Structure 1
Amino acid sequence: MSLLNTAREGIPMEIVLRAWTHADADWYVSARDAEILRFTTERAALTVEELRRAMDELRGNEDAIGFAVADAATGALVANVAATRRDAVAEVSYWVAPAARRRGVASRALRELCDRVAEAWTVDEIRLFAHADNLGSQRAAERAGFHHLAGRDETREVAGEQWPVRWYARPAGALAALPADLRAVLAGPVVWETMTARFRPRPPRPELVGNVHMVPFVGANCVLIHTVESGWEMPGGTLDVGESVPDALHRELREEVGAEVVRHELFASWECLSSRETPYRSHLPHPRFATALGWADVRLVDAPSVGEGMETVTEIALLPVERAVERFIDHGRPEFAALYQLAALRRAAAASVLP
């Protein structure tokens, strides 16, 4: 075990997925240790040149995707994830470099990869198999929402050897966990006055973000706001000039809910197209922009703010998610109902990988 892993073992790592480049090939080849070679289909004799050719082939393959996984804070590479498609099923694979193990990287990367699969392909199920002795990989799969397909366990030939394997599966994408009626809401376009939006199951590119909306949680309850202007709402709003998305979500929750953010996750977005001739505010992207979506654990520390340009919050409700969903549906906002349900699922999944 490396000194880095010893020092930081158990501390969750925030990650990003990005495309592989030729410059990554040396790291990929050298990062694979004995455990990776034992429990994956990786060839020990793989060369940098072979890997670069494989990267080029991947870009032109409509039935395969692969990503480098990097530490969000440093940009350092930490893992590899990939998926292939056959008919209505995708199969995923992954490995984590030694220095990044036992920090929740595998399960986080798997969840993100499943979102990418759902966005790229129309598939019903995502599967993976793990060597029966690879207990760490099996636990990572379960934390990422996969369930064991006990009836499919088998001995199969892998890299010229007979492997006892355990099969796992999960529905395709975060939307698959929603009830069918709420899933249908997010599957199609949503129209708000001069704007048409489409849901995407991953955070947007920062330069496209014009708004951020969050589902706040206080313990087991979620927070809804009622405003004079819009009725029952999901807290959030427009980015100020030069403001980052994290700063905006902290400010909006402080202003509209009187809340202090303890932790948060941005997990999705609306891709929006405005029919207005000019942007809502001059510094915002237009006519195409994105709304960042997420959840946040918060503490209620103050009353909502009142000021020029702010919506007037008349009530704050703390409700179990099921009742929040019902309230939004009753008030004609099924898209918020779906997002609150989805945020609760994402929050529960995030809790499962905390040390």
Structure 2
Amino acid sequence: MTDTTDRAAELAALAARFPILHAPQRWAWGGIDAQFSAELPPDGLITNIHLVGFTDGLVVLCRDVRGHWFLPGGTREAAESVESCLERELREEAGARLVGPARWIGAHRAVTDHPVPYRPWQPHPEKAWLWGWAEVVVDSAPTNPADGEQVVEVRPMEPAEAKRLLVRGREAWWGELVDLAVEQYR
């Protein structure tokens, strides 16, 4: 088999193990059709970055003022590198910093039906949300910038509890995303 054939077989096996994560999604809040793949997108398509942060084997979740639990991450700024965005978002939302390299597990490739990009510098209509995992340490309070989520709690928790809180009121693919990160972490 060629390297291309091996990679295609690997991607197909991953999709078979995590079918909900890999299923086509409709994100009505953004007029977005999205689909996850472990095949990483070109840097120029990445508009959002999110991380399953592990501290002592626990998953770090953030809770906003509305009571929604989420993984830290967010929108990439103009001319910002993926690494800088991740570091900034971790500090803003979780009061955390990396203690090891980020490992990228995949991305949701997305197409929006909105007529203009969310931010003027972003690619449009195609874009990508990058997902990864890394070891982090929570060593301060979230900075909570005025234009971001207002985080009221940051809590490391067992992966099963993180999955339960992330899936509650959302799509089930969040649970499989955590499972994939845990599998790669261990």
**Do they fold alike, i.e. is TM over 0.5?**
yes
CA RMSD of aligned residues (A): 1.9
TM-score if structure 2 supplies the norm length?
0.89
Q: Give 1:117's match in structure 2, choosing from 1, 9, 13.
A: 9
- Equivalent-residue separation in structure 1 for 2:121 and 2:25 (angstroms): 24
What's the counterpart of residue 61 of structure 2?
A: 224
Q: 2: distance between equivalents of 1:256 and 1:296?
A: 15
Preserved CA contact (<8 Å) 2:76 2:85 = yes
Q: Secondary structure at the match of 1:251?
A: helix
Aligned to 2:181: 343
Deviation at 1:275, TM superposition (A): 1.4
Cα distance in 2 for partners of 1:226, 1:207 equals: 30
Mapped contact 1:269–1:292 kept (Cα < 8 A) = yes
How far the C-alpha of 1:328 sits from its partner, in A, is 2.2
Contact 2:92 2:145 in 1 (8 A): no
Alignment deviations for residues 106-145 of structure 1 (CA, whole Å, 9 cap, x no partner)? xxxxxxx3xx4244xx5xxxxxxxxxxxxxxxxxxxxxxx
Find 1:184's aligned residue among 8, 11, 19: 19
Find the structure with the greater CA-based Rg. Answer: 1
Percent of residue pairs identical = 30
Q: Structure 1 227/333 Cα, relative in aligned 2: closer, same or farther at 3 Å?
A: farther
User: Any idea what SS the aligned residue of 2:35 has?
Assistant: strand
Per-residue displacement from partner, 1:188-219 (whole Å, max 9, x unpaired)? 12222221210011322111111111111111
The unaligned stretches of length 5 or more in structure 1 are: 1-63, 68-82, 84-91, 93-112, 123-171, 178-182, 349-355
**In the alignment, structure 1 residue 301 sits paired with structure 2 residue 139:** yes
- Structure 1 residue 268: Cα displacement: 0.3
Looking at structure 1, the residues matched to 2 and 107 of structure 2 have their Cα atoms a distance apart, in angstroms, of 21
Q: Is the 8 A contact 1:232 1:331 kept in 2?
A: no
Task: Specify the alignment match of 2:75 in structure 1.
Answer: 238
1:331 pairs, out of 140, 146, 169, with 169
Question: 3-state SS of the aligned residue for 1:328?
Answer: helix
Q: Distance in 2 between matches of 1:217 and 1:176?
A: 25
- Provide the rounded CA distance (Å) in 1 between the counterparts of 2:179 and 2:54: 12
Letter in 2 for 1:196: D
Q: Which amino acid aligns with 2:35?
A: R
- State the Cα deviation string for residues 258-279 of structure 1 (Å, max 9, x = none): 0110122012000011111110
> How many aligned residue pairs are there?
183
Q: Which runs of structure 2 are paired with 1:1-355 in the superposition (5 Å)?
A: 65-66=2-3, 83=5, 113=7, 116-119=8-11, 172-173=13-14, 175-177=15-17, 183-192=18-27, 193=29, 194-228=31-65, 231-263=68-100, 264-348=102-186
Structure 2 residue runs without a partner (length 5+): none
**Runs of 4+ residues deviating >4 angstroms:** none
Using structure 1 for the length normalisation, give the TM-score. 0.49
1:286–1:292: structure 2 CA closer, same or farther, 3 Å change rule? same
Q: Deviations over 1:315-355 (max 9, x none)?
A: 2221111121122233334222111111111112xxxxxxx
